[in-house]
A and B are shown apart, each in its own frame.
Chain A
C-alpha cells in the first residue's frame, strides 16, 4: 500500500467520522426535548434570592505580588493554597487571613496548585512541565525556603491542572499541554497511567483542567482546548469513557457536580454547561447575553454543596452566581462592594460549603461568605 493510498483512506475515514459526529449531534438535538431550566420552570420552581448580607466579601488575602492563577482549599481545615505569577505558593489560614507558608518555587511560571487530602502537602505545576510536591512539615533551608519533596516529571508540555485523588495522599492526576492527563504515584514519582496522547481517543489539544468525581474517585473529567470534555476511568487508560461535545471554545474548567453524576464546564465561548455523565447529554447551558459580541471567557467554576448554585468566574472580573435549576444569574460578585479589580482566575468552595474563595489577577484572594448576623430560632 503506498503512502498516497494510505493518505486517501485516512482522509476518507476522517470524513466518515465527521459525518457520523454530525449525525450524532443531530440525533442528540432531536432527543433533547427539554433542558433543566424549562423543566424546572414548568414545575413551578422559583429562583434563589440573595439578601444583602447573604454573600459578602469578608476576608481579603493580600500577600501575592503577581497575578493569582490558582487556589485550592484543604478538605478538613480552613486553609487555602494559592499560586501566583510572582513564583510563590502561599498557604493561608482563611479564618485569620494570615499566611502560614510562603513557598518560593524553582520555576516561577506556576499555573496550578492543589492541597493534599491530609493537608500535609501541596502540589503545583506550570510551564516547567513538572508537578512539584512540597511537604509543609519539612524543614526549611537556610534561606527559609521549603524544599521540594518530590518532582513528578514526564509531561512533555506545561502542567495546567492538578488534583489529588480524594482520600489518597499518594495519588494525583495532572492535566498537561501535551494533550494527556496522567495519574501519578507520588511515593515512587512514577506515572501510573497516561490518559490520551498517542491513543486515538484522547484529547487532540492541550488539556486545561481535571476534576475527579467526589463519590467515585476512579472517574475523572478533563477539559481541553479541543473544546471537548472527556470522562476517564483510571482503570482504563486506553480510551476515554465518553466525550462531551457542545462547547464552541476551549474548555477552561471542569468540575464535578456534588452528586457525581453530572459535571459542569466553563469555556472560552463564554458559557458554562452542565453535562450528565450517564447519558452523555448536555443538560443545561448557562449563558448570559452580552451586548457586545465579545463574551468574556469563563475561567473557573464551582458548585455549592447542594448543587443549586454555580459560581463562575469570568475574564472581565465578573463572578456570577447561577441558579443551576433556572439558569439565571442571581448574584454578580463582581459588582458587589470590595470586589476584585481584575479577572477572576480561580475560585473554589470550602469543604463545608460555607465560604467561597476567589483569586484574581489583581493579586488578591477574597473570601466570600454569609456576612449578616445569624438569628438563632
Chain B
C-alpha cells in the first residue's frame, strides 16, 4: 500500500511541469513554486496492515473518462472523506495519500497542489475562524465554507510571497497553525486532530460547491453542508467565480469545449488549451485560473473602511470599488490605482479579469465620485468601455437555456434580438421558441422575448415545473398560467396540448384551425398584470422581419474584431482584382454602390469613352493615310512597296472609307490635341452635353465604323472598350446612369488609389433543418481588402499592417502570357513574368509568412480563346508546355478530352504551385475564375472560405486524411 503511495507521488511530480506561458504579459510578480526539499518529504512508513477494506482502492486513481466525471468525482470525494477519516490512524501517511490523490487528479501547478492541501488540512477551524474574522472586514460570515476558501486564498498569497513570514505577519499564533504552516512548506506532515473529520467534511462541501456551482443544481450528498453553502452564497460567488466556470464544465461533459473561460481569465494556463478531448487534466486546467483568481482579492489587507492604496480615510469617505477584486480607493488614489481604465473601473492589476458577478448590475453606472474627478467625455468613455469591453460581458456558459449552456453566438443573438430578455443574469432558463415565452427553470414565464431564436435546446416538458397536465408548445404549464388561460376563456378541459404562436394565436395539437388569441382581449392583459404573467410587447408584432435584420445589425466591437475574417486581394495591375472586388460588392451587398459613387463612376466611364473614341480617331487617321498611300500606289501603278513615308501625303481630295467631313475632322483634331496634352479627364465629363450631338454624328459616320471594324489593330485600345463603344451614344448622354454591368466592365472606377475594402457575409444557403453549424456560418463576416499593385515598392513597410489577414488571394490574369509591359527599368517584359515576380515578392514577404495563399487564375474565358491562336510557350516561363492533344479535334467537345484551355490552366496552376512550394514548402490553393461571371467569383470566394475553415480544422485532421486533398496535378511532364 505504502509503496503504491510513493509511486503515485512520483507520478504526480512528473505531471506537474508547467507549460510554457504564451499569454499576455503579466504586470505583477509571478509566484514562485517553493522548491521541495527532498529530505523533508516524509517517507512513507510501513503501515500496519489493519484497517483497509479491500473495496477502498484509494491511492491508485483510475483514468477518468470524460463522460462520468461528475459521478466519479462525487464518489471519490465521498470516499475520500470517509477513507481519510479512517486513515487518520496512520498519520502522516494519510495526508500524503490524500495529497497525492489531489496531485493525481489535478496535475496543476505546485501552488495549486498546496492550495488543495491547505483546503483539506485546515484543522481546528475555530481558531482560524476567529483570526480571519478579525482581519478581513468584508467577510463577516463565519461560515466554514467561506473560510476554507478564504484560507486557501490566503495561503495562496503566502506561497507566493514567503510562507512563513507571510503567515507570521498576519499573526497566526495558534499551535495548530504552526504545524499547518509546516505542512504547507514541506507538503506533508500534519497531525491529525479531532476536528480533522470536520475539516474533511467541509472540503467535501467545497468540492461540492465547485460541482454544483451557483446554479444550486441539487447535487447535494450531504445535507448539513448544503446549508452552509447556501447561506454563504454571496461570499462564495465572489471567491469561486472561476471555479463555477469549471463546475459548468463538469456539468456539460464534453459538449462545451471552446476556450471561453480561458479567454476570459487570460492569466496563467499551464495546460494545453487546444486539446479538445475533455479529460480530467483539461478540467483542471480550466480551474487553473481559480488559483490566480484567488489572488484577485485585494492585495493589501487594510483597515476597515480605509482606502486600499493610501490606507487613509474611514468608511464614510467616498470610495470607488474595483469591479473585480472589491478593492476600494479614495478620491486621491482612484486614478492612480485604476489607470486609464480600459475595461472600466478595475485596479490596474485586475485588468483582463472578469468582473464579479455581484457587480454586474452596476456595470456602466457611474458613481458621483468619478463624475466629480473627470469630465463628462472621460466618464462617458469609461462607462462605454466598461459596458462593452469583451471581458466584462456575461459569460455565455453561465446562462443555460433549456438545459444547455449557451455558446457565444447564441448569447449574442439572445442579447441583440429585438426583444431581449431583461436583466439577464447567470442561471438556468427555459425558452419556448414558438411563442417566445421565457422564464427561469422551475418557474412561470417571466417575459415574452423574440421567438424563433436558435438558442439552447428544445424546451422540456418540466421546464417550468408545472403540474397541471396542460401543455403549451410541449411545456407543462404552471397553475398560474392555467388560471390565466381559463380566465382568458381558453377551453382547458381534458388536459389539452396547446400550440401557441408568438402572436398569441393558439390551436390544439394536431388540429389546423386557430382557436383564438390568448392575449386578444383587453382584459387578458390586465389579468396577466395581476398574475404577474408576461404579455407580448408591442414590438414583437413585427418580429418576423427582425430576425433576419438582427443578424445584419451592427455588432459590438469586441465581437466584430473576432468574427471578421480578412481576405486580401492582390495582383499585378490588370489582373482583374478590381473586377473581382466590384463583383463581390454586387454579389453580396444590397446597395453595391452608393449614389455618390455612381455619380463619380458615371464621370469616369464617360471620360473613358471619350478616350476610346480618341484612340479610334487616332487609328482612323493612320488608316486614312495608309489607304491613301495604297490608293496612290495603285494609281502610280508599280512603285516599290511601302517606301514612301505616309507623312508626305497631303489631302488631295481623294476619298477613302476612312475620310470624314471637315466639321468632324475639326472635332477629331481637337480631341486628339486634348488627349496629347493629357487634360482629357479635366475637360471632358463636364463638356459632355455640348459635344454629345457631335459624338453621335461621329459614331454614325462610315469612317468611324470602318475604323471600329479594324479596332483589333489598335494596340492601345483595351478589349473591353467595345462594350462601351457600342453604346457610346447612350453613355455620353448627360442623364446616363451606369448599370451594375457597366460598372463591372468599367476600368479604374473603384476608389482610385490605395486600399479599398468591403465587408460581406455569404448569403445563407437555402436548406431547411435547424442545423447549428449554419447559424455559425451566417454570423461569420468577411472583409475583402483590395490593394493596388502600384503601391508595392521594393520594401513595402506598410504591408505589416495587414498581418491579421487570413488568406491572401493572389490574382493572375491568364491571358497575360503574350502581353508585354514596361517594368521599372523601362524594359519590355512579359506581363506573366511580372506577375510571377510580384507573386514571389509577396509570398516571401515576412508579413505573409505562414499565411494561406489562394491563387485565382483570372480571365479564363479569353485565355481559352487565345490559347487556340497563340501558343502558351510564348511566355518563356511556360516553354515546356507540350500538351498531349488528340489529333481528332472534332472530339474536343467530348468531356473526356480536356480542351487546350483547360490543359493550359492546369499547367499554369501547377507552375505556380511548384513555385510556391519551392519558396515556402507549403501548398498553394488555386482556382480558375472569370471575373465577369458572378457565379464564378462567388465560387472563388467561397473557395477562400473553405481554405479558411480548412485552415482552422487542419490541426484536428490526421495527416493521412490530409493527403486526400492533394490537388497536385501530375499529368504534365516536367
Contact = CB atoms under 8 A, between A and B. Distances in A.
Contacts of B6: none
A177 B755 CA distance: 12
B797 interface: yes
A62 B389 CA distance: 13
B381 A205 contact: no
A96 B797 contact: no
Nearest to B338: A97
Given A128-B755, A129-B755, A250-B797, A101 B340 contact: no
Contacts of A104: 557
B664 interface: no
Contacts of A127: 754-755, 787, 798, 801
Given A99-B381, A205-B793, A341-B25, A60 B755 contact: no
B335 interface: yes
Interface stretch (B311-319, B372-380, B517-525): B372-380
A192 B887 CA distance: 67
Interface string A80-98: 0000011000001100111
Contact of B757 (A92, A93, A107, A111): A107
A147 interface: no
Interface string A53-65: 0000001111101
Interface string A103-116: 01001010100000
A205 B384 CA distance: 43
A239 B25 CA distance: 49
Nearest to B381: A99
Given A65-B561, A111-B798, A111-B801, A96 B373 contact: yes
Interface in B745-802: 751-757, 787, 790-791, 793, 795, 797-798, 801-802
Given A62-B351, A127-B798, A92 B340 contact: yes
A61 B378 CA distance: 13
Contacts of A160: 798
Contacts of B717: none
What is the interface residue range for chain A against chain B? 35 or more
Interface string B13-25: 0000000000001
A61 B340 contact: yes
Nearest to A362: B25
Contacts of A205: 793
B381 A101 contact: yes
Nearest to A98: B378
A155 interface: yes
Nearest to A156: B753
A107 B751 CA distance: 12
Interface residues of B, number: 37
A362 B757 CA distance: 26
Contact of B341 (A59, A86, A98, A101): A98
Main secondary structure of the interface of A (DSSP, over half): loop
A131 B755 CA distance: 13
B681 to A, nearest CB: 14
B470 interface: no
A62 B754 contact: no
Contact of B795 (A86, A109, A157, A250): A250
A144 interface: yes
Contact of B801 (A97, A109, A178, A250): A109
A143 interface: yes
Given A129-B753, A156-B753, A158-B798, A99 B340 contact: yes
A160 B753 CA distance: 14
A130 to B, nearest CB: 8
Contacts of A102: 381, 384
Given A107-B755, A143-B554, A96 B378 contact: yes
Contacts of B25: 341, 362
Contacts of A92: 340
A199 to B, nearest CB: 16
B70 interface: no
A74 B802 CA distance: 29
Nearest to A58: B336
Contacts of A7: 826
A85 B351 contact: no
B342 A63 contact: yes
A225 B374 contact: no
Nearest to B370: A98
B561 A206 contact: no
A16 interface: no
Contacts of A107: 755, 757
A244 B801 CA distance: 29
Contact of A96 (B374, B755, B787, B798): B374
A63 B346 CA distance: 13
B382 interface: yes
Given A97-B340, A98-B378, A127-B755, A225 B795 contact: yes
A97 B382 CA distance: 11
Given A63-B340, A158-B791, A98 B384 contact: no
B384 A63 contact: no
A100 B377 contact: yes
Contacts of A96: 335, 373-374, 378
B646 interface: no
A60 B801 contact: no
B970 to A, nearest CB: 41
B379 to A, nearest CB: 8
Contacts of B802: 109
B657 interface: no
A160 B801 CA distance: 12
A157 B791 contact: yes
Nearest to A206: B793
Contacts of A158: 754-755, 791, 798
Given A96-B335, A109-B755, A129-B753, A63 B385 contact: yes
Contacts of B790: 156-157
B339 interface: yes
A157 B752 CA distance: 10
A296 B554 CA distance: 42
Interface string A38-64: 000000000000000000000111110
Contacts of B351: 62
B754 A157 contact: yes
Contacts of A250: 795, 797
Contacts of A69: 801
B347 to A, nearest CB: 12
Contacts of A109: 755, 798, 801-802
A85 B557 CA distance: 14
Contact of B339 (A60, A100, A177): A60
Contacts of B561: 65, 86
Interface in A116-152: 127-129, 143-144
Given A63-B342, A127-B755, A100 B378 contact: yes
A128 B757 CA distance: 9
B372 to A, nearest CB: 12
Contacts of A93: 374-375, 378
| Max chain A Cβ within 10 angstroms of own Cβ: one of B351, B801, B802 | B801
Interface in B4-50: 25
14 contacts: A59-B340, A61-B340, A69-B801, A96-B378, A97-B339, A98-B378, A100-B378, A100-B381, A127-B801, A128-B755, A129-B753, A156-B790, A157-B754, A205-B793
Pairs of residues from A and B, 10 with the lowest C-beta to C-beta distance, nearest first? A129-B754, A98-B378, A99-B381, A62-B342, A100-B377, A97-B340, A127-B755, A129-B753, A63-B342, A156-B753
Given A129-B752, A129-B753, A250-B795, 8 more contacts: A7-B826, A65-B561, A96-B374, A97-B335, A97-B339, A156-B752, A156-B753, A157-B791
Interface of B: 25, 335, 339-342, 348, 351, 373-375, 377-378, 381-382, 384-385, 554, 557, 561, 751-757, 787, 790-791, 793, 795, 797-798, 801-802, 826
Interface of A: 7, 59-63, 65, 69, 85-86, 92-93, 96-102, 104, 107, 109, 111, 127-129, 143-144, 155-158, 160, 177-178, 205-206, 225, 250, 341, 362
